[in-house]
Structure 1
Amino acid sequence: MKSRIFMYLFVFTALICLYLFVSNNKMSTAKDAKIDKLEKQIVQLEDSVQSTQLKVLDMQYFSLENNDDALAYYDHLGLKDPSRYIADKLLETNEQKGDNPLVPYEGMESDFKINKIKVLNHKWILTDFSDGKYWGELLIKYELKDDMGIDFTMLDHLLYSRSN
Structure 2
Amino acid sequence: MKKAILYLFILSLLFNIFQYMNSNKILKTQGQELENAKTRITKVRDSITTLREEKNDSDYFSLDYDDDAQEYFSRYDVTKVAAKVKEDLVTLNDAKTGNRLVPYEPINGNKFIISKIKILNHRWIIADFNSGSTRGEVLLKYFHNEDKPTDFERIDAILFANTVQ
TM > 0.5 fold call: yes
Q: Tell me how far apart the structure 1 counterparts of residues 128 and 28 of structure 2 sit (CA, whole Å).
A: 56
- 1:17-96 correspondence to structure 2 within 5 Å: 17-78=16-77, 80-96=79-95
Could you tell me which runs of 5 or more consecutive residues in structure 2 were left unpaired when the two chains were aligned. none
Alpha-carbon offset, residue 95 of structure 1: 1.3
Contact 2:92/2:98 (<8 A) preserved:
no
Any idea what SS the aligned residue of 2:161 has?
A: coil
Alpha-carbon offset, residue 80 of structure 1: 3.9
Q: Tell me how far apart the structure 1 counterparts of residues 34 and 147 of structure 2 sit (CA, whole Å).
A: 63
Post-superposition CA distance 1:44-83 (Å, at most 9, x none)? 1111111011111111111101112211222223454322
Q: Tell me how far apart the structure 1 counterparts of residues 35 and 154 of structure 2 sit (CA, whole Å).
A: 57
Q: Tell me how far apart the structure 2 counterparts of residues 5 and 127 of structure 1 sit (CA, whole Å).
A: 89
> Aligned AA for 2:157?
H
RMSD: 1.6
Alpha-carbon offset, residue 111 of structure 1: 0.6
> Aligned AA for 1:152?
F
Moved over 6 A (4+): none
Query: 2:11 aligns to what?
Result: 12
User: How many residue pairs end up in the alignment?
Assistant: 163
> Aligned AA for 1:9?
L
Contact 2:140/2:156 (<8 A) preserved:
yes
Any idea what SS the aligned residue of 1:104 has?
A: coil
Alpha-carbon offset, residue 148 of structure 1: 4.6
Distance 1:61 1:150, change over 3 A: same
TM-score of the two chains, using structure 1 as the length reference? 0.92
Alpha-carbon offset, residue 105 of structure 1: 1.0
Any idea what SS the aligned residue of 2:99 has?
A: coil
Post-superposition CA distance 1:112-161 (Å, at most 9, x none)? 11111110000000011111122111110000124353110001111111
TM-score of the two chains, using structure 2 as the length reference? 0.92
Alpha-carbon offset, residue 99 of structure 1: 2.1
Could you tell me which runs of 5 or more consecutive residues in structure 1 were left unpaired when the two chains were aligned. none
Residues 1:141 and 2:141 aligned together: yes
